[in-house]
């Protein structure tokens, strides 16, 4: 099956349903107070509006003011080769940095709602590259200080033997086949080894090489049973290039 990201996006029936349910709610988050009040009862089942105006659907929060998504996760890999950044519990845990219980389908739908556009991970014959999304981790260090660091701080670029440069992650979007959202089937939300279905992938030209990244074991991590918060923030359209 040839990948065509625009066609794939339009064919995502499940995403379309999710968007239809949530669009009015998300618009209310950025509309004047009167409009928000008028749509106060428009929340779909499972959605909750928080005191600060943010929207929570399951474990995913849409932060109104910051225009970003946030969801819980935990670190699962302290050293070694790295092929995935965020996976499901049934994903490739032995080579992934973080594990999260949220569905890739939900993440993709919420990125659409924030105005992000998906596409191939590099400009080329299949179309314009997808929008870049920054991934940050909010966590508490050993001194009890709350921190927010780019996920690249935990990734070593083996070609330079230095922490990975912050270039963003491409919103490639996953395909649907036979009614199945493939990224959920494979357990991927964000990957740095660009093989397989995922919501986010690397823009690196050598991304199909599984040897270029490893875990930065010198960057402190919270305990593996501690919950951290993954934050996905689409870059402004005029700041899309790394």
Given a contact cutoff of 8 angstroms between Cβ atoms, the answer to whether 91 and 73 are in contact is no
Residue 15 within a domain: no
Global pTM reads 0.83
The token pair that represents 83 in the structure block:
């092929």
Enclosing H/E stretch for 9: helix 5-10
Residue 6 within a domain: no
Residue 81 within a domain: yes
Read off the pLDDT of residues 28-75 as tens digits, 9 standing for 90 and up. 444 444 444 444 456 666 788 888 888 898 899 999 889 999 999 999
Read off the pLDDT of residues 212-239 as tens digits, 9 standing for 90 and up. 999 999 999 998 889 999 999 999 986 6
Taking the CB of residue 102, how many other CB atoms lie within 10 A of it? 20
DSSP type of residue 235: P
Range of the domain at 131: 72-239
Number of structural domains the chain divides into = 1
- Angle among Cα 159, 164, 165 to the nearest 5 degrees reads 110
């Amino acid at each position: 099956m040839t990948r065509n990201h625009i066609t794939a996006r339009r064919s995502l029936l499940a995403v379309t349903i999710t968007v239809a349910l949530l669009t009015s709610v998300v618009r209310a988050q950025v509309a004047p107070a009167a409009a928000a009040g008028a749509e106060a009862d428009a929340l779909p089942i499972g959605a909750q509006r928080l005191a600060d105006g943010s929207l929570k659907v399951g474990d995913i929060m849409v932060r109104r003011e910051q225009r970003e998504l946030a969801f819980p996760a935990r670190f699962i890999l302290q050293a070694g080769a790295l092929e995935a950044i965020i996976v499901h519990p049934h994903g490739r845990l032995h080579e992934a940095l973080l594990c999260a219980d949220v569905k890739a389908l939900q993440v993709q739908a919420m990125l659409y709602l924030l105005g992000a556009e998906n596409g191939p991970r590099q400009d080329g014959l299949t179309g314009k590259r997808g929008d870049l999304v920054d991934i940050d981790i909010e966590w508490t260090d050993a001194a009890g200080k709350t921190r927010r660091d780019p996920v690249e701080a935990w990734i070593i670029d083996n070609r330079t033997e230095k922490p990975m440069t912050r270039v963003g992650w491409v919103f490639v979007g996953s395909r649907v086949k036979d009614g199945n959202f493939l990224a959920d089937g494979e357990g991927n939300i964000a990957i740095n080894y660009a093989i397989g279905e995922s919501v986010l992938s690397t823009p690196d030209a050598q991304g199909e090489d599984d040897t270029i990244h490893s875990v930065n074991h010198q960057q402190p991590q919270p305990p593996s049973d501690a919950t951290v918060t993954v934050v996905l923030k689409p870059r402004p359209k005029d700041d899309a290039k790394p």
